Amino acid sequence: MEWLALLGESFVAKAFSRSPTLYIIANAGHILSLAMLVGATAILDLRLLGVFKPLPMAPAAMILSRIAAWALGATLLTGALLFSVQPLDYLANTAFLAKLGLVLFGTLNAGIVRRSKAWAAVGQGAPPSQAMQLGALLSLLTWISAVFAGRWIGFL
């Protein structure tokens, strides 16, 4: 825990604490990247679940998964910047811990799905398997839950 206290005293944390503008930019970046992540993921998951049938599966899977991956990277980066300002407080917050767990689960689920043979088949135009659809449903529920947990942080 000592390293977390040091993180809270770091140059980055102090810069964000002293400058409301920097904090607002990081916070807005976090919200925007999260919106891109959840938006792209939700559209892809819903398509895998049979919604948006006119949307061609293979190109949608390729494009939306890339958008989600880049947005996840931006979300993690901006989240780390925001976390650095009050790391000990965030780690004492149950909603924050729930959000971290959900983000980890959502990321692992996406990685497993992306490396599966069923994903490769979808990329070639095959219909999604039941396992792929289960992964999509888990993904959708997980990322929506992560958003709720994130919003809950300020209330605990």
- Each residue's pLDDT tens digit, 78-107: 999 999 888 889 999 999 999 999 999 999
Q: How many of the other CB atoms lie within 10 Å of CB of 9?
A: 12
Q: Backbone dihedral region of 150: left (phi > 0), alpha (psi from -120 to 50 degrees) or beta?
A: alpha
Residue 51 has pLDDT above 90, yes or no: yes
Domain range for 151 is: 2-155
The proportion of the chain whose per-residue pLDDT surpasses 70, expressed as a percent, equals 95
Return the pLDDT at 36: 98
- Domains of the chain: total: 1
pTM of this prediction? 0.89
Residue 136 contacts residue 61 (beta carbons within 8 Å): no
d(CA 156, CA 134): 32
Q: Which residue has the higher pLDDT, 106 or 15?
A: 106
Band the pLDDT of 12: cuts 50, 70, 90.
confident
Mean confidence (pLDDT) of the chain: 92
**Both ends of the chain: CA-CA distance in Å?**
21
pLDDT the model gives residue 151: 94
Whether residue 6 is predicted with pLDDT greater than 70 in this model: the reply is no
**For the chain, percent helix, then strand, then coil, each to nearest 5?**
85, 0, 15
- In 3D space, the residue among 63, 35, 61, 64 whose CA is nearest the CA of residue 48 turns out to be 61
Cβ-contact 60, 115 below 8 angstroms: no
**Amino acid letter, 120:** A
**pLDDT tens digits, residue range 132-143?**
999 999 999 999
